[in-house]
Structure 1
Amino acid sequence: MNTEEGINNLLAKLPALRTEIGKIIVGQEKVLDEVLITLLAGGHGLLEGVPGLAKTLLVRTLASATDCAFRRIQFTPDLMPTDILGTEILEEDHATGKRFFKFNEGPVFANIVLADEINRTPPKTQAALLEAMQEFEVTYAGKTYPLPQPFFILATQNPIEQAGTYPLPEAQLDRFLLYIRIQYPTEQEELAILTGTTGNHQHQVNPALTAADLVQLQQLVRDVSISPDLVEYVNLLVRATRPITSPVAFVKEYVRWGAGPRAGQALILTAKARALLRGRFAVTAQDVQTLAYPVLRHRIVTGFNAEADGVDTDWVVTELLAAIKLPSPILR
């Protein structure tokens, strides 16, 4: 893998991955791009959209195209933490007659986990994923169990305005690398969906990557270079989201809480993944600015003034990108 030929062979599999997913998923190029960036960066994604936009189908297709162990968890109001993590059961050794507790792994023990409609379950159950998402392990009854690698959670949620939803706690939101919004398809895309899904022909998705390939790609992402000036720009951008330290007046007016250091880490890692996805080994300013939206939109908490003026976090990010100038060496 460390040889130039090995790296090139690995990168050559990424277009094939897109092709396989494209057999099932029509359009949604930006969404697919952000999902793949999240996967390559070794994080987790939160995918938001109204019902019927193929959020679940996208995750299933990704799992089929990567030849990874896949589990789906349907989040409901009565779901319990043990339904996610697993539980101990009492068993008996028939040879000795001794009884012992055995841990039965829950559905979180997979390479790709779909947390479907995560905001339809109360915060207590949502919090069961925190350790798994951050530490890539599960602790039960004082014992720690490592999760398989790679480990990727893609959670879907319906807009919080819909009935029967619970807002995700800020601590859990922060552990999602990207907050991805999926929109309605274009007219032509919707026409292609109607044509392709109402007949007898079924497309076969073939694995383009293995789990081992994904682990190697995640390691390779961290080797992508980023200039000190761009790191400084990321730092300035993230710090400008905080009302206390922001040099921008509208942040003090509209924002209650800004992004923490994890946002800067996420922005750099995902910018590296975007560069690698495009066959580059160096991050550009465009990588950083493009990913500022899905990185920051769930890490900025707006206040009452913002709600009154119709200001959302994407608007805040747009204005911040205009206000915080790139360091001059990058512009030259």
Structure 2
Amino acid sequence: MISASAILGPLGCDPQVIGGSCPDPRDPDVHYISRVPECPGLDFDCSPGQEPFIDECGCGCIGPEAPACPDPRDPAVHYVSRDPRECELIDFACSPPQEYFGGACGCGCIGPEAPACPDPRDPAVHYVSHDPRECELIDFACSPPQEYFGGACGCGCIDPEAPACPDPRDPAVHYVSHDPRECELIDFACSPPQEYFGGACGCGCIDPEAPACPDPRDPAVHYVSHDPRECELIDFACSPPQEYFGGACGCGCIDPGAPACPDPESYPPVRYVSHDPEECHLIDFRCSPSETQFSDECGCGCIGTEPSACPDPTDPAVHYKSLDPNKCSMWFFACEVGQTIFNPEGCGCGCLDPEHPLAHAR
């Protein structure tokens, strides 16, 4: 329906017309082509559903604009015809998942193209038939490890992807032969710790991954030699508590890790007298009855217990034997090597791993 404003419009809408009524250009259904009166020499057509006007106001079309047509440049748009009359006579179907479109723009299909068919020129592709209807009647099986394929392309078998072969440029890879058939006839062994490989790629040996070497920049690492052959000839010993290391990296000694010392900030009942183990040998000190004396590589001092603070049973370094103080007073139990017995009043009893602060109590 054409709006009243489109037909009547405001008086004097065009300065060239005195007292006339022009289609209102502000109306979205009014489409001026020219404001020249009568549009002399101008030939134009309106879209279906629109009505032309030519008068003293100019010329143009009145009515809703035709819908936007599917863009033929879009790869998902496939026109069969641009002629709506021809589309009425054409019988065609769109391939799923494409969808049909038609109307004033023409007709065709919108959607992704049908999947690409396996390339018959590919030596890994073996067609039994290119006719989908014939494929429905054929009974065949693919030889393992081939895989079946079928559909609009036809049917057949596809070889699996070729395996990734050990890279012959890798210095750790040593091919004996690249011919699988020859590999079946060859008898060879890999030198330990090399590992055998074989298959469609050929056969040979692969060196093990190089071990991670102790970092010579680490002050705890002391190399005697970086040459494994020289290490076989050298006779040396590491000073306790250092530990020996050797192998493809060379040989030398590694200092032990620093001990986990009681921390007064995280555990207030710890009271150091000295952090120097040598000085501790010269100091004579005593702890209060509620504290326990300690003296080790961390230094020396006293460790008390926090009021009503029992070792946390959820702490993985705490291993309770019993939470019943009465049973603990009658039991005899032993802890594993390195662990320390605990039996604080009212808490129960058990064993502490070396990293627990109370494990330094002596």
The TM-score, its normalising length taken from structure 1, stands at 0.14
Please identify the structure whose Cα radius of gyration is greater. Answer: 2
Report which structure shows greater RCO (CA 8 Å, sep ≥6). 1
More helix by share: 1
The TM-score, its normalising length taken from structure 2, stands at 0.13
